[in-house]
């Protein structure tokens, strides 16, 4: 079952069980995917977003909500921060398990060795290999500095 089918099945289930918060989040996911479909249709004529792109959309949505939750907490709006966390939980159901910090370090070291990277000039090659193999499983914003440190 591809990502779209999983999301659609979850949406139907949330409608049947009348889970309003879950349903709202699933509708947001569907809207984001459809927006990307429309964007691609205009650009290349190919209007189907694949699983890899859906995972990238979901990862962006999680990151946005994490930032919002932090901002709400700093502003004293704990009710809104909690709602953001609930949405994160629903979105993460469709993402692969996130790697632990140790697993990320091991993956970075292995990828550097596999690609034969030896200097900071090879950072793009290493990051590309990591993104293709571990999409949705690690935060590449924090992985970049780790790769830079190891190559630098």
pLDDT in tens, 59-72: 889 989 999 999 99
Instruction: Indicate where the chain has its CATH 1.10.1510.10 domain(s).
Output: 3-92
CA atoms within 13 A on the CB side of 32: 20
Give the pTM: 0.72
Tell me whether residue 77 is exposed, middle or buried, using C-beta atoms within 10 angstroms of its C-beta: 0 to 12, 13 to 18, 19 or more. middle
Cα–Cα distance list, 90 to 8, 79, 109 (Å): 13, 17, 32
Tell me the CA end-to-end span of the chain in Å, nearest whole number. Answer: 42
Any idea which fold 101-151 has?
Answer: Arc Repressor Mutant, subunit A (1.10.10)
pLDDT in tens, 105-132: 999 999 999 988 888 898 889 998 888 8
Per-residue confidence at 91, pLDDT binned at 50, 70, 90? very high
Mean pLDDT of 63-88: 94
Instruction: Indicate where the chain has its CATH 1.10.10.410 domain(s).
Output: 101-151
* Whole-angstrom distance, CA of residue 19 vs CA of residue 29: 15
CATH of domain 3-92: 1.10.1510.10
């Amino acid at each position: 079952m591809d990502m779209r089918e999983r999301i659609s099945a979850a949406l139907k289930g949330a409608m049947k069980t009348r889970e309003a918060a879950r349903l709202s989040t699933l509708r947001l996911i569907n809207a984001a995917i459809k927006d990307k479909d429309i964007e691609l249709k205009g650009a290349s004529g190919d209007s189907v977003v694949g699983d890899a792109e859906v995972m990238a959309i979901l990862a962006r949505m999680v990151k946005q909500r994490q930032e919002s939750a932090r901002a709400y907490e700093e502003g004293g709006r704990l009710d809104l921060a909690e709602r953001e966390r609930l949405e994160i939980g629903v979105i993460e159901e469709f993402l692969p398990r996130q790697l632990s910090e140790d697993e990320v370090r091991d993956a970075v070291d292995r990828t550097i060795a596999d690609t034969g990277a030896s200097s900071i000039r090879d950072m793009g090659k290493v990051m590309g290999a990591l993104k293709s193999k571990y999409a949705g499983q690690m935060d590449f914003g924090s992985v970049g500095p780790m790769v830079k440190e190891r190559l630098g």
